[in-house]
């Protein structure tokens, strides 16, 4: 009897996790500002809309090696009914971010995509072209229900714990999809 119970739960979970999602996640705008031109030579991002999906490409080139990089990152979500939610606001070691399993599901989704779609690897080297190509958020990585609305994300990158090297802001939306 117990075996059938667990088999049923496994089948239900499998169906829910593979169900077609009724939403899409789009980036409207990605804005980068460099604060420390002595360390950051270039940091740019572009949003591409193709095949009913948003992709982001970024390029980074540094003037000096960076061994320790800290990031403060936050994500706010605004439901269609006006209710706002802060999904996270944390400061963490950017170099360990991609190699760590996080309790926050959003971090795991993002870290997985960064590892897969970029050549970022610490320590960061000077005069090397770091790229992120066609970053997107796969709806299958999310729960089957995600509320519709807009989101705002920002990340500030700190060198030596105190100097803000650059900031990236992302605005987007979660919309209905058939």
DSSP string, 21-59: PSEEEEEEEEEEEES-TTTEEEEEEEEEEETTEEEEEEE
Q: What average pLDDT does range 123-129 have in this prediction? A: 96
Provide the 3-class DSSP secondary structure of residue 137. coil
Q: What percent of the chain lies above the pLDDT cut of 90?
A: 57
Between 169 and 110, the higher pLDDT residue: 169
Alpha helices in the chain (DSSP H): 2-18, 94-97, 105-117
Q: What average pLDDT does range 147-152 have in this prediction? A: 96
Per-residue pLDDT, 5 = 44
The residues, any chain, with a CB within 8 Å of residue 110's CB and separated by 6 or more, are: none
Between 50 and 111, the higher pLDDT residue: 50
The residue count for the chain? 178
- How confident is the model over 28-57, as pLDDT tens digits? 999 999 999 999 999 999 999 999 899 999
Place of tokens 């996270």: 88
Q: Is the pTM of this model over 0.85?
A: no
Sign of the CA dihedral 166, 172, 174, 177? negative
Exposure b/e, 149-161, CB count within 10 A at least 16 = b: bbbebbbbbbbee
Residue 11 pLDDT level (bands cut at 50, 70, 90): very low
R_g of the chain computed on alpha carbons: 18
Residue 1 pLDDT level (bands cut at 50, 70, 90): low
- pLDDT at residue 16 greater than cutoff 70: no
List the domain boundaries for the chain: 21-176
Per-residue pLDDT, 18 = 59
CB 147 within 8 A of CB 72: no
| CATH class name, domain 21-176 | mainly beta
- pLDDT at residue 14 greater than cutoff 50: no
């Amino acid at each position: 009897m117990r075996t059938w119970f667990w088999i049923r739960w496994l089948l239900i979970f499998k169906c829910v996790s593979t169900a077609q999602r009724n939403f899409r996640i789009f980036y409207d705008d990605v804005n980068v500002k460099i604060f420390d031109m002595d360390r950051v030579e270039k940091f740019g991002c572009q949003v591409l809309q193709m095949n009913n999906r948003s992709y982001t490409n970024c390029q980074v080139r540094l003037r000096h090696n960076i061994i320790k990089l800290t990031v403060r990152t936050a994500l706010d979500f605004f439901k269609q009914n006006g209710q706002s939610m802060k999904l996270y606001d944390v400061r963490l070691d950017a170099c360990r971010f991609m190699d760590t399993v996080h309790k926050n599901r959003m971090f795991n989704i993002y870290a997985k995509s960064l590892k897969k779609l970029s050549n970022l690897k610490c320590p960061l080297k000077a005069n090397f072209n770091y790229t992120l190509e066609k970053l997107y958020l796969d709806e299958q990585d999310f729960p089957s229900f995600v509320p519709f609305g807009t989101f705002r994300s920002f990340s500030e990158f700190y060198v030596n714990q105190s100097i803000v090297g650059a900031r990236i802001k992302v605005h987007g939306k979660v919309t209905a999809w058939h």
